[in-house]
Chain A
Amino acid sequence: MSTGMTGRTEQAPVREVGRARTRKEDARLVTGQTTWTDNMTVPGLLHVAILRSPLAHARIERVDASPALEREGVVAVFTGADLAAGLGSLPCAWQVTEDMILPEHPAVAVDEVRYVGDPVAVVVARDRYAAADALEDVWVDYEPLPPVLDLEAALAEDAPLVHADKGSNRCYTWPLVSGDYETARGQADVVLRRRHHQQRLIPNAMEPRACVVVPVPSTGEYTLYSSTQIPHIVRIMMALTTGIPEQKLRVVAPDVGGGFGSKLQVYGEDAICLALARTLGQPVKWTESRSESYQAQHHGRGQIQDIELAATSDGRLLGMKADILADMGAYLMIITPGTPLLGAFMYPGIYKMDAYDFHCTGVFTTRTPTDAYRGAGRPEATFAIERTMDELAAELGLDPLELRRRNWIRHEEFPFTTVAGLTYDSGDYAAATDRATALFGYADLRAEQRARHANADPVRLGIGVSTYTEMCGLAPSRILGSLRYAAGGWEAASIRVLATGKVEVITGTSPHGQGHVTAWSQIAADVLGVPFEDVEVMHGDTRVAPQGMDTYGSRSLVIGGIAVHEAALKVVAKARKLAAHLLEASEDDLDFADGVFSVRGSPDARKTIQEVAFAAFAAHDLPEGMEPTLNAEHLLDPDNFSYPHGTHLCAVEVDTETGAVAIRSYVCVDDVGRVVNPMIVEGQVHGGVAQGIAQALYEEAVYDDAGNLVSGTMADYLVPAAPDLPDLVTDRTETPATSNPLGVKGVGEAGTIASTPAVVNAIMDALRPLGVRDVRMPCTPERIWRAVREAADSESSRKEDAS
Chain B
Amino acid sequence: MVSPAKDQAPMPRASVARISVNVDGVDHRDEVEPRLLLVHYLRDTLGRTGTPIGCDTGNCGACTVDLDGATVKSCQVLAVQADGGRVTTIQGLAGPDGAWHPLQTAFHEQHALQCGYCTPGMIMAARDLLRETPDPTPEQVRDALEGNLCRCTGYQNIVRAVLAAAAELRRQGAPEPRGQGVDVPQVSGQEAPA
Contact = CB atoms under 8 A, between A and B. Distances in A.
A and B touch in the complex (CB under 8 A): yes
Interface of A: 1-4, 22-23, 25-34, 36, 38-39, 41, 127-129, 204-208, 255-258, 260, 289-291, 512-515, 679-680, 682-683, 686-691, 713-715, 719, 721-723, 725, 727-728
Given A23-B108, A206-B62, A723-B146, A34 B116 contact: yes
A207 B54 contact: yes
A22 B156 contact: no
Contacts of B120: 32
B56 A291 contact: yes
A258 B138 contact: no
A127 B149 CA distance: 28
Given A129-B33, A129-B36, A722-B146, 7 more contacts: A3-B108, A27-B108, A32-B50, A208-B53, A208-B54, A258-B115, A686-B157
B90 interface: yes
Contact of A204 (B91, B151, B153, B155): B151
A39 B50 CA distance: 9
Interface in B71-112: 89-91, 93-94, 98-100, 104-105, 107-109, 111
Contacts of A714: 55-57, 59-60, 149
Contacts of B47: 41
B151 A258 contact: yes
Contacts of A719: 59-60, 149, 151
A290 B91 contact: no
Interface of B: 33, 35-36, 40, 43-44, 47-60, 62, 89-91, 93-94, 98-100, 104-105, 107-109, 111, 113-120, 123, 138-139, 141-143, 145-159
B51 A32 contact: yes
Give the dominant DSSP class at B's interface. Answer: loop
Contact of B156 (A291, A715, A728): A728
A531 B38 CA distance: 44
Per CB-CB distance, the 3 closest pairs between chain A and chain B, nearest first, are: A32-B50, A29-B116, A257-B117
Given A204-B151, A722-B146, A30 B159 contact: no
Contacts of A721: 142, 145-149, 155
Given A1-B99, A721-B146, A722-B142, A687 B111 contact: no
Contacts of A129: 33, 35-36
Given A257-B52, A513-B115, A722-B146, A22 B108 contact: yes
29 contacts: A1-B94, A2-B105, A26-B116, A29-B116, A29-B119, A30-B107, A32-B120, A34-B52, A38-B43, A38-B49, A127-B44, A205-B117, A206-B118, A206-B150, A208-B53, A256-B115, A257-B117, A290-B60, A512-B115, A682-B111, A687-B114, A687-B152, A687-B154, A688-B154, A713-B57, A714-B55, A721-B147, A722-B145, A727-B138
A258 B113 CA distance: 11
Nearest to B90: A32
B91 A722 contact: no
Contacts of A679: 111
A167 to B, nearest CB: 40
Contact of A690 (B91, B117, B154): B154
B127 to A, nearest CB: 12
B159 A26 contact: no
A39 B142 contact: no
Contacts of A4: 105, 108-109
Contacts of A715: 57-59
B115 A22 contact: no
A32 B57 contact: no
Contacts of B123: 30
A723 B139 CA distance: 7
A133 B52 CA distance: 22
Nearest to B116: A29
A33 B50 contact: yes
B60 A686 contact: no
Nearest to A288: B56
Contacts of B153: 683, 686-687, 690
A289 B60 CA distance: 12
Contacts of B53: 38, 208
Contacts of B158: 722
Residue among A23, A683, A690 with max Cβ neighbours from chain B (10 Å): A683
